[in-house]
Amino acid sequence: MPKYQTIDQRVLLIHPLGYAAQESERDILRLTNTMPPLGLASVGAWLEKHGVDVDIVDCFAMPRPDHRIQALLHERPPAFVGLTCTTHSYPDAVRIARLVKAVNPEIKTVIGGPHASGMGKIILNHEAAIDFIVVGEGESPMLELVQREGRDLAEVKGLCFRDTSGQAVFTGLQTKLLELDSLPFPAYHKLPGYPGTYTLPLFNYPRTPNASCVASRGCPYQCSYCDRSVFRRTFRCNSAEYLYQHLQYLHQRWGIRHVNFYDDQFTLQRERVEKFCRLMLDQPLGVSFNCAVRAEHVDLPLLKLMKAAGCWMVSLGIETGDPELLARHRQNSDLEMLAEKVRDIKRAGIRTKALMMIGLPGENEQTFQNTMKYLFSLPVDDVNLAKFTPFPGSPLYQEIHRFGQFEENFEKMDCMNFVFIPEGMTRARLDQLFAKFYRRHFMRPRTLWGYLTMIWRSPDSWRRFWKYAGSYLAFARSNQRIRKTKPSKL
């Protein structure tokens, strides 16, 4: 196996764009929801803890990031450039890796994240500008790469690289995972403009400044549509004490007043959540929070405790309101149980957001009608309807062609485009149903009243909405023109 010794210990970490760079200044999502790259910031903090000099460039947080990347490559040349990527940001990660090699071919390029973990060494067979793939969590493999001292790369678990013959090699999954409480808080100080550069979705927070946070990793469930390539089916979490200290740090250091937890399963370990809530009640920070839960792991007493501790909104994965379609893709597919949990969230006085999906294998006109009828019978305040996308790390990915037509265009694989068309459906019809769903949602008196109350419950959301109203309207009109003038290919 080849050996590699680091020239120096400087590392440049980059969060690439999920679309063509020339589109960045017109990106409507940048105005409505810009989340910091928490995984990359965690890797950066871990490297810093071990004496490594780190820079971070978040391409989503600056209109023209290439200028910053070029400047750092020349002024503070790194030994490694690490890029994290989802499927739709992979093309931009490749573009940046090529840019790096054009400036200095001696710089080693590393990519990690969901897409890299899902594809593994296949990437190395197709892209010469990428030297290493990190499969799974990034902290340990990245540190070992940076601190090589002539040791064989084969000793670094969770790594793909090319051997001396040019063949792609995978060293195997990481078996020794870090204790999450041993990690320093993410390197927020390396994110220019933090926290003001970053925004939560409109009407998803009561106050500013606000922030995103991750307090656990993984999910033990195996839903057909979920990408589990990074954390597999493991579940680990920070302790209640660590979680409280993290929020305390965000509040004292950055003035944060609201936090959105992006955990898959915030309430999976009930005792931890109860302890965290009691800490928030016994030693108030003046910080409220949102979280995502699975219905099986909440009940009214726990929700009332969370509300008292500052929980403002709960997101709940429902996906579809058709019982047969849900049973096909989700474990414990009990729609009545899900409905009762939604009602419990409302009884606790917490804002409720339903996470839905359209276009799953098996979707048809009737399943969609069942979904609308079911969802609009529930007291939900907000809805996020995603367009089903078969990601490489999901169970459905390998057999997706059995269930319909799949356009594997990475740039479109962002849950905002119909790249998969179930049998019996067309892309044009799915777009129509998607638009119909949101029209119905926004015309409901409950929805309209809920947004009206945001004038005093989330005044900054309305301020941002009116500030960018022209951009939102132009975006909506553009999409409407596309639906009317662009014929479906299917």
Q: Which residues contact 262 (CB under 8 A, 6 or more apart)?
A: 35, 38, 212, 213, 214, 292
Pairing status of strand 351-358 against strand 11-15: unpaired
Among 13-22, 112-121, 373-382, 402-411, whose mean pLDDT is lowest?
13-22
Measured from the Cβ of residue 278, the count of other Cβ atoms closer than 10 Å reads 15
194 belongs to a structural domain: no
Residues 438 and 362 in one domain: yes
Q: Tell me if 187 is assigned to some domain.
A: no
For the chain, the three-class secondary structure string (H helix, E strand, C coil) is CCECCCCCCCEEEEECCCCCHHHHHHCHHHHHCECCCHHHHHHHHHHHHCCCCEEEEEHHHCCCHHHHHHHHHHHCCCCEEEEECCCCCHHHHHHHHHHHHHHCCCCEEEEECHHHHHHHHHHHHCCCCCCEEECCCCHHHHHHHHCCCCCEHHHCCCEEEECCCCCEEECCCCCCCCCHHHCCCCCHHHCCCCCCCCECCCCCCCCCCEEEECCEEECCCCCCCCCCCCCCCCEEECCHHHHHHHHHHHHHHHCCCEEEECCCCCCCCHHHHHHHHHHHHHCCCCCEEEEEECHHHCCHHHHHHHHHHCEEEEEEEEECCCHHHHHHHCCCCCHHHHHHHHHHHHHCCCEEEEEEEECCCCCCHHHHHHHHHHHCCCCCCEEEEEECCCCCCCCCHHHHHHCEEECCCHHHCCCCCCCEEECCCCHHHHHHHHHHHHHHHHHCHHHHHHHHHHHHHCHHHHHHHHHCHHHHHHHHHHHHHHHHHCCCCC
Calculate mean pLDDT across residues 395-410. Answer: 93
Higher pLDDT, 342 or 395: 342
The tens digit of pLDDT for each residue in 178-205 reads 999 999 999 999 998 999 999 999 999 9
- Token output for 431: 């777009």
Residue 256 sits in the same domain as residue 149:
no
Say yes or no to pLDDT of 375 above 80: yes
Q: Which of 9-18, 195-204, 379-388, 464-473 has the lowest mean pLDDT?
A: 464-473
**Distance of alpha carbon 412 from alpha carbon 18, whole angstroms:** 9
Asked if residue 456 is part of any domain, the answer here is yes
pLDDT at 276: 98
CATH number at residue 267: 3.80.30.20
Least confident of 41-50, 112-121, 308-317: 112-121
- Do 355 and 209 share a structural domain? yes
In this structure, the answer to whether residues 164 and 209 fall within a common structural domain is no
Give the model's pLDDT for residue 304. Answer: 98
Residue 132 has pLDDT above 70, yes or no: yes
Q: pLDDT at position 157, please?
A: 93
The whole domain housing 19 covers 11-170
Query: Residue 103 maps to which CATH number?
Result: 3.40.50.280
> Residue 8: what pLDDT?
56
The answer to whether residue 106 is domain-embedded is: yes
188 domain-assigned: no
314 and 362 belong to one structural domain: yes
Is residue 237 located within the same domain as residue 320?
yes
Average pLDDT, the chain: 90
- pLDDT per residue over 248-302, tens digit each? 999 999 999 999 999 989 999 999 999 999 999 999 999 999 999 999 999 999 9
Structure-block tokens of residue 446: 């409950």
Residue 4 falls inside a structural domain: no
Q: What is the structure's pLDDT at 149?
A: 57
Please work out, in degrees rounded to the nearest 5, the angle formed at the alpha carbon of residue 487 by the alpha carbons of 481 and 488.
Answer: 115
More confident residue, 478 or 244: 244
* Residue 369 located in a structural domain: yes
Query: Which tens digits make up the pLDDT trace of 66-110?
Result: 999 999 999 999 999 999 999 999 999 999 999 999 999 999 999
Total domains present in the chain: 2
What confidence category does residue 357 fall into, taking pLDDT thresholds of 50, 70 and 90? very high
Q: Which of 40-44, 435-439, 471-475 has the lowest mean pLDDT?
A: 471-475
Mean pLDDT of 113-120: 91
Residues 358 and 388: beta-carbon distance below 8 Å: yes
Q: Domain ends where: 170, 187, 222?
A: 170
- Residue 147 pLDDT exceeds 70: yes
